[in-house]
Amino acid sequence: MSDILDQLNSKQREAVEALTGPVMVIAGAGSGKTRVLTYRVAHLLNQGVDPFNILALTFTNKASREMKDRIIKLVGNADAKNVWMGTFHSVFARVLRSEAFRMGYPSHFSIYDTDDSKRLIKTIIKDQNLDDKIYSPGFVAHRISGAKSNLITAEAYNSDDEILSHDKMSGKPFLGEIYKQYKARCFRASAMDFDDLLLNTFLLLENFPDVLIRYQKKFNFILVDEYQDTNHAQYMILKKLAANDENICVVGDDAQSIYGFRGANIQNILNFKRDYPDALEFKLEQNYRSTQTIVKAANTVIVKNKDQIFKEIWTENEDGNLIELLKAQSDNEEGTLVANSIFETKMNSHVPDSAFAVLYRTNAQSRSIEEALRRLNIPYRIYGGLSFYNRKEIKDLLAYFRLSINNKDEEALKRVINYPARGIGKTTQENIIVIADKADKSLWEVIEEPHQNGLDLNSGTQGKISAFVTMIKSFSAQVKTKSAFDLAKLIAHSSAIMKDLNEDKTPEGISRYQNIEELLNAIKEFTDKPKEPLPGEEAKDTTEGNSIPTLDEFMQDVALLTDADVQDKDGGDKVSLMTIHAAKGLEFPYVFIVGLEENLFPSIQSLGSRADLEEERRLFYVALTRAEKRVTISFAENRYRWGNLTLCEPSRFIDEIDNKYIAFPKRASFQKTAQTGSFSLPSPVMTRKNLKKLGSLHKNVSGDNGSNDSQSIDKIIPGIEVEHARFGKGKVISVEGAGASKKASVFFKNVGQKQLLLQYARLRIVE
């Protein structure tokens, strides 16, 4: 093992060798965080620790798989597969399936995804005769999720006067009742949502001391990845599990805590030494990823945050290029500049498209980038779009799988009871739901014995429902006897989904059919793999009949996939487009960060408190540190928001980067070259002093082309001809309002009539 540890630098090695007691490893960007976790587990195994006594928690299944593979290679021992390693949700789902009976759930409970939860909430809102504009399903789902992340049960929510008073004052007094009904309906359907996997694990440990003691004794060593991203529920579960031995090692970087909107609490990592006063702290400050320019520039930004664990990230890598700053007149020109820069770098440096990533604060910003890339025939892929497992046809077939495994899964049943169409109409479905609600029974119980439950049906409908129930029961009977692939294929054909999709010969229909084929291929691959034991299980003899991978096991994996695990499979040599949140944990040689404007990045929602603004700064820090060789940041002087052209102020984050690390802006001349059809770029002409002038709403920063001052605005009257930088020449039709609210309706020859706010429109009067 000494040879293995020799592969670590001194700080990494110190962190790996400190095996007992509480340990916090502050791992800067690109400093080898995963390496420390991997070697630490390997070192524990080589020291004779039983793998069944090691709990290693990550935030993606991909991370845990890669770590486990690397550990096996390091120790050369297949026994390493028995380490309890996985995401918080996957590991605690395993625990809950073993202990579910204590909480009144079956071990085969369903796991509702976000869409399932929102559909159920929408149904409850409708049943309660509430306005879905006031109680929007998305808002209510977020509210319930926030409560669960803070370990507030439905009962606690409805007995807390402060919470109820807040809801009443905000005009949503029935949130507590919706939460109560939501919990009851999930329980009736034998279903938990993602937040329940944590909340119920905490309640299990809290309410059943024997279970807590058993798992405390079992998990002698606990390791946690990305500790800065943990929420209150995860924090409390870890506190309980580690209470005896306190052999807990957390690894993370407070400077990369960017998920506050999901409930992550940066105080968990900032206060670790308060929770464990004798904790050892190790700082990994050497960056192996980025150039010195990028590392130093990022340091000058993040140092502005008050709430942080101070560290000085450094690197022995080359100095590298200065950070390029692109100034565009509009968001469309910004897209052109970015695409053009990618094109030029590809040609000059002979690098593939996959070397580039364009990062933005909001998904809506991708439009102008996409259009510009398409014009230059540069292939790209968007992360965070509709993932494979969220496509309708895939969710339809998965709903059949879910219902076959758990007949009480109401969201799955409602999805497929009349798909493909089998004559069980909307009225019949509504009657089933009404009867189920009155009797407090599951929908399945009602349709399984319709007459006993008072469901009055004509003979034709009765026969169709009976046939549906019989079909699902036949699938259920084979869950444990057939392989996952054999049963999935049977369900796909017997349910008539394959037939229904095959009859649609449109390109969209063919694509949907092919997606089902791809799902079956994935299940076949799952079935053909040797069956690995679940955490805590001994490996089974593969000759046993129950050793075949079954459909319920496949569905457990699918239900627990994280965003990072379900990105589109559209790989290949393409530019990556994604939000900065989606980019965390990734790295690219060339990174473009677009939209560096006040109220966009930092977001306008973040300007109300220092804590929110500091999270935005950490987000910018994460964006900068994704780059290996070069960073380019850009902003637009004007951007359309809600149909209005708005003058934009450069982001404060640009000013926070030390001047010596920036090459100042370029602007497209809009002169297309005959050879490439792309726009030529003149030399940098701006200085920081001139850049700051863009922050003024009353000064003309574009010379003769602007008209922001009041005297110029007063000259714009109906009937005169004007010229707009984007729309070209046009005629003023009407003018209304006064002062900062003065607007003009202008008819442009190329784009038709537009209404413009004159303070920002910068119209030039055509003489």
What confidence tens digit (pLDDT) does each residue in 44-53 have?
Answer: 998 999 999 9
CA angle 193/578/575 to nearest 5° reads 135
Mean pLDDT of the 110-114 span: 92
Which tops the pLDDT comparison, 298 or 114? 298
How confident is the model at residue 753, as a pLDDT? Answer: 78
Mean pLDDT of the 752-762 span: 77
Supply the residues annotated as catalytic.
33-34, 225-226, 256, 626
Handedness of CA 225, 226, 227, 232 (dihedral sign): negative
How confident is the model at residue 683, as a pLDDT? Answer: 34
Tokens of 208: 């059943």
How many Å apart are CA 664 and CA 686, to the nearest integer? 6
How confident is the model at residue 705, as a pLDDT? Answer: 36
How confident is the model at residue 386, as a pLDDT? Answer: 60
User: Are 356 and 575 a contacting pair, CB within 8 Å?
Assistant: yes
How confident is the model at residue 532, as a pLDDT? Answer: 57
Dihedrals phi, psi of 135, to nearest 5 degrees: -105, 70
In this structure, of 216-220, 337-341, 714-718, the range with the lowest mean pLDDT score is 714-718
756 confidence band (pLDDT: 50, 70, 90): confident
| CB-based burial label for 316 (10 Å; 0-12, 13-18, 19+) | exposed
Rg of the Cα atoms in the chain: 29
Q: What pLDDT, in 10s, does the model give residues 306-337?
A: 999 999 999 999 999 999 999 999 988 999 99
Tokens 């084929």 belong to residue? 517
- Under 8 Å CB-to-CB from 196, ≥6 apart: which residues? 148, 186
How confident is the model at residue 546, as a pLDDT? Answer: 52
Which tops the pLDDT comparison, 150 or 739? 150
699 confidence band (pLDDT: 50, 70, 90): very low
CA angle 6/8/11 to nearest 5° reads 120
DSSP label of 698: S
How confident is the model at residue 686, as a pLDDT? Answer: 42
673 confidence band (pLDDT: 50, 70, 90): very low
Tokens 């290679």 belong to residue? 73
How confident is the model at residue 143, as a pLDDT? Answer: 94
| 356-360 and 380-382 strand pairing | unpaired
Q: What pLDDT, in 10s, does the model give residues 408-422?
A: 999 999 999 999 999
How confident is the model at residue 711, as a pLDDT? Answer: 63
Mean pLDDT of the 695-704 span: 33
How confident is the model at residue 261, as a pLDDT? Answer: 85
Q: Give the chain's mean pLDDT.
A: 86
Q: What pLDDT, in 10s, does the model give residues 471-517?
A: 999 999 999 999 999 999 999 999 999 999 988 878 788 888 888 99
734 confidence band (pLDDT: 50, 70, 90): confident
Residue 737 has pLDDT above 80, yes or no: no
In this structure, of 95-99, 235-239, 667-671, the range with the lowest mean pLDDT score is 667-671
Across 465-501, b (16+ Cβ under 10 Å) vs e yields: beebbebbeebeebbeebbbbbbbbbbbeebebbebb
In this structure, of 342-346, 381-385, 572-576, 601-605, the range with the lowest mean pLDDT score is 381-385
- Under 8 Å CB-to-CB from 586, ≥6 apart: which residues? 357, 576, 626
Mean pLDDT of the 694-708 span: 35
Residue 708 has pLDDT above 70, yes or no: no
How confident is the model at residue 740, as a pLDDT? Answer: 62
Mean pLDDT of the 160-174 span: 94
Mean pLDDT of the 191-197 span: 96
Dihedrals phi, psi of 700, to nearest 5 degrees: -85, 110
Q: What pLDDT, in 10s, does the model give residues 206-221?
A: 999 999 999 999 999 9
How confident is the model at residue 403, as a pLDDT? Answer: 97
How confident is the model at residue 564, as a pLDDT? Answer: 56
How confident is the model at residue 700, as a pLDDT? Answer: 32
571 confidence band (pLDDT: 50, 70, 90): low
| CB-based burial label for 242 (10 Å; 0-12, 13-18, 19+) | buried
688 confidence band (pLDDT: 50, 70, 90): very low
